[in-house]
Structure formats: C-alpha cells, structure tokens
Amino acid sequence: MTELPPKQWDWSDPLDDPSKAPPLAQNSYKPGTVPTPNAPIGPVPGVISRSQWTSAKPIMSREAYAMAGVARITVHHDALPSTGIRSMSDSARRLESVRQSHVRNGWVDIGYHYSIDPMGRVWEARPNNLQGAHVKNQNEHNLGVMLMGNFNEHAPTSDALNTLDAFLAEMMRRYRVPVGRVFTHQEIGPSACPGVRLQRYMVATRAPSGRLARA
C-alpha cells in the first residue's frame, strides 16, 4: 500500500444542512429509547477513505439496516495493543483484521463507522449510510467511533485524543448531537469498553469545563 500523508481536514459539506434540523434538548436521550434523527447522513471530507485499507464491500446479503440519520455518538476502543502502529500501512492492517473478525461474527462489515489511530488520523470504516454494529440493541441512529488501542493497558496518545475531541465536536455540530448524547460503550451497554483510561478521559472532556463540552 502506498504511504499517503495525513489529509488536511476540510469539514465543509454542501450536501449537509444541519441548520434545517430541529434543536434537540440537552441530555434528553434515555437508554432504551431512540431519539428522532436530526440530520441526514453525509460524507465526511478529510477522512482517509475506506478504499485505502480494504477492497471488500459490506455483505449486503446479511441483515443490514439503513442508518437514516445520526442522533447519538458512541466511543469505543478495539482492545488490541497499538504500540506498533505508526504508519498508514500499520493502521490499514489493523482495520482489516478487525473487519475480518467482525465478518466472522456474521456481521455485515466492520462494526464501527470511523476509527482514529494513535497518530491521530481518522479512517472511514463501515459506510455511514449503514447502521453500525457496535452496541448491542443500541445501534439505531448511533455513530460508532473507535480508537485503536487497549486503554485498560495503556493510555491513548495525545494525537489520538486531540483528534477525537475535534472529530466528535464536528460530528456534534453537523448532526446537532448535544454533548449529553455522546456516550462510551459501557455507558449504554454491558461492556468494559473503551477501557479505564479512555473512559476517564471521556468523563473529563464532556464535563462542563471539558474541551468537548466547550466546543
């Protein structure tokens, strides 16, 4: 695979018009309910495309559902060591390994919509017009964002965390998702994901004085 430099982010998207979406009340989501979708799904410019890491397509003969809008966002880790991930090729191999594992589970594709590697690069994973497979019984209108690493074993890199805050803030603006609808896996499903260190960071960044809450 040819090494490509990280792309400069350009978040403008003429296909998205979040201004037409109705406002959503802060913290109005309750686990077990599905909020009304607030904006149409659109492409995210500046993200490394799926074609850079796989030629495989989602297996549409399996049970697949349209995403039909984003109303919440959930953060994950892949629970795998990330100390050896530096190049784009390293990240591409990791994503393909995760995709193959998820397909062996009988899923349509990799479960997450986006992934962030330790160098702070954002990767397109599952096409965002398809509902994900990242929180059991909580995937409707739920955008899945995965950081590469096992954050029970080590801390996320500062590059990954800086990108995570910027990316989440942009998704919140784009789809009118308030900070009260940004979750970690363990907050809406029985799981230790995203690990104690990333969980601790997510609590801090969503607090009133945190970076994400102030974005």
22 falls in which pLDDT band (50, 70, 90)? very low
Residue 14: pLDDT over 60: no
Structural domains in the chain plus CATH codes: 70-214 (3.40.80.10)
Mean predicted confidence (pLDDT) in 52-60 = 95
Tell me the C-alpha distance between 23 and 86, whole Å.
40
User: How many other CB atoms are found less than 10 A from the CB of residue 161?
Assistant: 19
**Residue 180 CA to its chain's centroid (Å):** 16
Q: Could you report the per-residue pLDDT of 136-183, keeping only the tens digit for each?
A: 999 999 999 999 999 999 999 988 998 999 899 999 999 999 999 999
Q: Could you report the per-residue pLDDT of 58-95, keeping only the tens digit for each?
A: 999 998 899 989 999 999 999 999 888 999 999 999 99
Three-state SS sequence of the chain:
CCCCCCCCCCCCCCCCCHHHCCCCCCCCCCCCCCCCCCCCCCCCCCCECHHHCCCCCCCCCCCCCECCCCCEEEEEECCCCCCCCCCHHHHHHHHHHHHHHHHHCCCCCCCCCEEECCCCCEEECCCCCECCCCCCCCCCCEEEEEECCCCCCCCCCHHHHHHHHHHHHHHHHHHCCCHHHEEEHHHHCCCCCCCHHHHHHHHHHHCCCCHHHHC
